[in-house]
């Protein structure tokens, strides 16, 4: 039951939201953030977890905006070019009818999820890491205003570090996706060549 509840809320959202609520407590120490209890400890914990997850989802939404900007930057790089080339190879080898975009990110995500669910899950791990790095960059800004002195300087310096880390993780995500697409296209190419050779022998 607890595992299902945690899966429903989202572990990443719960962690990010909890950190954000603690940051809010540091920013507003005089504010009354105590919530009335229901009298049932299990219900109180569930409500607090749901509230933290809700805040976390809002921050993750902002992180998704950062990822969208990152993809715009990477689209014009060699990572975007390789992804497009890998998509063309996979599409031509598997005879897919859909028109391939110049930056086929979503199309390849769907194709890999169908053709190789295990590899799709591995790609999701990389994507979640990039999203968490963007969320961490946002949290360091909040914590930077919550503390003073050297700690504030360190946190504000950590913000661009997490931003660059997130962008590099996104680049790794695109490179890994391109390699997966190329690997998935090889069996289809071999099968197609084998069929052509057999047809040639029969003729």
Whether the CB-CB separation of 148 and 184 falls below 8 Å is answered with no
Rounded to whole angstroms, how far apart are CA atoms 95 and 84? Answer: 16
Tens digits of residue pLDDT in 35-62: 677 888 888 888 889 999 999 999 999 9
From CA 119, how far away is CA 117, in angstroms rounded?
A: 5
Task: Name the more confident of 13 and 198.
Answer: 13
pLDDT higher than 60, residue 190: no
Contact 74, 174 (CB under 8 A): yes
pTM for this model (two decimals): 0.80
DSSP alpha helices (H): ranges in 76-147? 78-94, 105-115, 117-146
Q: pLDDT-derived band of residue 141, with 50, 70 and 90 as boundaries?
A: very high
pLDDT tens, 61-76? Answer: 999 999 999 999 999 8
d(CA 181, CA 74): 18
| Tokens 């053709």 sit on residue | 115
* Cβ burial 124-144 (10 Å sphere, 16+ → b, else e): eebbebbbbbbbbbbbbebbb
pLDDT at 87 over 70: yes
The size of the chain, in residues, is 203
């Amino acid at each position: 039951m607890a595992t299902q509840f945690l899966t429903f809320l989202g572990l990443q959202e719960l962690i990010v939201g909890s950190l954000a609520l603690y940051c809010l407590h540091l920013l507003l120490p005089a504010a009354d953030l105590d919530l009335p209890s229901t009298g049932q400890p299990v219900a109180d914990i569930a409500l607090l977890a749901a509230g933290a997850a809700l805040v976390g989802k809002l921050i993750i939404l902002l992180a998704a905006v950062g990822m969208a900007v990152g993809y715009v930057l990477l689209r014009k790089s060699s990572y975007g070019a390789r992804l497009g080339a890998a998509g063309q190879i996979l599409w031509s080898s598997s005879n897919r009818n859909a028109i391939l975009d110049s930056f086929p990110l979503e199309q390849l995500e769907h194709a890999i999820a169908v053709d190789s669910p295990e590899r799709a899950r591995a790609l999701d791990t990389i994507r979640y890491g990039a999203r968490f790095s963007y969320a961490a960059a946002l949290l360091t800004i909040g914590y930077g205003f919550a503390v003073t002195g050297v700690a504030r300087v360190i946190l504000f310096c950590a913000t661009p570090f997490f931003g660059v880390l997130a962008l590099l993780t996104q680049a790794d995500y695109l490179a890994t996706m391109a390699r997966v697409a190329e690997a998935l296209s090889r069996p289809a190419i071999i099968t197609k060549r084998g069929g052509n050779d057999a047809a040639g022998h029969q003729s």
